Amino acid sequence: MNQPNKTLLLAVTGATPQVITETLYAIHKQGLEWPDEIQIITTSVGKEQARLNLITDGKLKALCDEYQLPVPVFDENSIKVIPDANGREVADARTLEDQEALADFIVKEVAEHTKNTNIRIHASIAGGRKTMTFFLGYAMSIFGREFDRLSHVLVSEQFESNPQFYYPTIQPKTITNRENITLDCSKAEVMLAEIPLISQRMIDPKMVNDFDKFTYNDIVNAIQLANRPEQVKLTIIFDRDNPRIVFGTKEIAFKNRKADFAVLAAFARARQSNQPGFYRQSGRKNAPSFTLAFLRELCLLEAEQFDHTNIQEMLDNLSFRGALDNKTATMLQQNHDHEFDENNFSDKRSSLQKMLNKELPKAAVNLLVPQTHGQNNPYQIQIPATNISMHGMIKE
């Protein structure tokens, strides 16, 4: 991978914006990449403190001038305020809904920044509330690349959290602490503690794609469900005008995807009935037919009579209603035994998977899309039979 040519210092701050100057000082002293730009994630209160101290009072420029360093790009637009659950700038995220909004905002900010391979991210978790620092570190553990950094700054105890201290000065400069004791800023010790970063992107790059489409909470719930399949609930709702499922707390409509609905319903019914599932190969001895199970679910959905002795008429009726696409109907009509072959089976499974990928994180999709444990074993969905329910046509 090409090395980036710019560095962004991305930090969370609260009421103490001096963590920015302290971090910059430590970066300089430890010979790390000097940031070309700074961006802060904070609350509305934190934004005002950062604006007044770093910009208006010139603390950022003072540090750079004193140590003859270029001033990183930083203005009011560089200070981003976390929204609350209603999209308003938050002063202090305290409710569960605000915490979820905070998590989504920070995760998506990091996701967006790490798309640019020309910019190295140096993420600082030295400031802000504990939840803010956690989510920034968490986001870096998902999206971080091998050239990104994650750090915390350590400051001498007597200078730590002192609102008058911003960085160790070259010449003596006196300030006082809460006990009114005089301190010399030039004597302060500031060190950057770099946190080793091994991210999900480095292990499984495809998984990070979920975070472009789903909320932090959706993905966490999906992963938790995947690890506790006994708690997963699946409801199949046969409604001709609006076929849908309820998976956990999420409702997914299959209005224009009736064939995909029938595939899932066939596997769900097999699981509910404690049947072994279906094989990719048609015509296996003593194995249930996936094709007939698929057509049976379509007939139930469309209130059509299922008659396996008259496949042709059944296909015509389902095609006429628009429940069966022409390609599938033609293939089954031309096949002498009216059965899906291995490729058709795979196509139907892939179509369901693509549809669900748009609705659910990967961990949840894997529970609904039929899986197999070896080519000689049938495909099944990974949900307990007792947790599957089916309902007939529902009139709202």
CATH of the domain at 93: 3.40.50.10770
The answer to whether residue 273 is domain-embedded is: yes
Q: pLDDT class for 85, splitting at 50, 70, 90?
A: confident
- As a whole number of angstroms, the distance between CA 226 and CA 249 comes to 15
What is the four-CA torsion angle of 281, 282, 288, 293, rounded to 10 degrees? 110
Residue 243 shares a structural domain with residue 338: yes
Whether residue 56 is found in the same domain as residue 195: yes
Task: Output the CA torsion 200→204→232→103 (10° steps).
Answer: 30
Same structural domain, 190 and 285: no
pLDDT band at 56 (very low <50, low <70, confident <90, very high): very high
What's the structural domain count of the chain? 2
Say whether both 111 and 186 belong to one domain. yes
Q: Does a structural domain hold residue 396?
A: no
Structure confidence at residue 173 as a pLDDT band (50, 70, 90): very high
Q: Is the pLDDT of residue 25 over 70?
A: yes
Q: Quick check: is 218 in a domain?
A: no
Between CA 132 and CA 140, with CA 135 as vertex, the angle to 5 degrees is 130
For residues 304 and 242, what is the distance between their CA atoms, to the nearest angstrom? 16
pLDDT mean over 299-306: 91
Residue 285's pLDDT is: 63
- Provide the pLDDT for residue 393: 52
pLDDT one-digit tens code per residue, 87-98: 888 877 667 777
Average of per-residue pLDDT across 378-386: 91
* pLDDT at residue 252, as a whole number: 94
Asked if 229 and 208 sit in the same domain, the reply is no
Encoded amino acid at 224, one letter: Q
Identify the band that residue 395 occupies on the pLDDT scale cut at 50, 70 and 90.
very low
Taken in order 333, 334, 338, 339, is the CA torsion positive or negative?
Answer: negative
Inside any domain, residue 244: yes
Domain final position from 212, 234, 258: 212
Q: Choose the final residue of a domain: 212, 245, 260.
A: 212
208 and 229 belong to one structural domain: no
Q: In which domain, by residue range, is 278 found?
A: 225-391
Q: For 344, list phi and psi in degrees, rounded to 5.
A: -65, -40
Query: 286 and 335: one domain?
Result: yes
Degrees, nearest 5: CA angle 146-77-54? 85
Say yes or no: 81 and 105 in one domain. Answer: yes
The last residue of a domain, from among 151, 180, 212: 212
User: What are the structure tokens assigned to 196, written together?
Assistant: 């080793």
Q: Is residue 311 part of a domain?
A: yes
The answer to whether residues 371 and 351 touch, using CB atoms and an 8 Å cutoff, is: no
Q: Residue 333: its pLDDT value, please?
A: 78
Other beta carbons within 10 angstroms of residue 362's beta carbon come to: 18
Sign of torsion, CA 293 298 300 306? negative
First to last CA, the chain: 55
C-alpha to C-alpha distance for 294 and 302, rounded to whole angstroms: 13
Q: pLDDT band at 286, cuts 50/70/90?
A: low
**pLDDT (0 to 100) of residue 310:** 84
255 and 343 housed in the same domain: yes
Query: Does the residue 219 lie in any domain?
Result: no
For the segment 226-248, what is each residue's pLDDT rounded down to a tens digit?
Answer: 777 777 889 999 999 999 999 98
Domain for residue 40, yes or no? yes
Q: What is the mean pLDDT of the chain?
A: 88
In tens, the pLDDT along 191-231 reads 999 999 888 787 777 767 777 777 777 777 777 777 777 77
What pLDDT, on a 0 to 100 scale, did the predictor assign at position 338?
76
Average pLDDT (111-128) is 93
Indicate whether 132 belongs to any domain: yes
Over residues 25-49, mean pLDDT: 96
**304 and 356 in one domain?**
yes
In order of 151, 287, 330, 331, the CA distances from 336 in angstroms are 66, 19, 12, 10
pLDDT at 185: 96
Query: Does the pLDDT at position 136 exceed 70?
Result: yes
Q: Domain check: are 376 and 252 in the same one?
A: yes
CA 120 – CA 8 distance, rounded (Å): 6
Predicted pLDDT of residue 396: 37
247 and 289 belong to one structural domain:
yes
Written as six digits, the tokens of 297 are 């679910």
Are the CB atoms for 185 and 165 separated by under 8 Å? yes
Spatial contact of 12 and 150, defined as CB atoms under 8 Å apart:
no
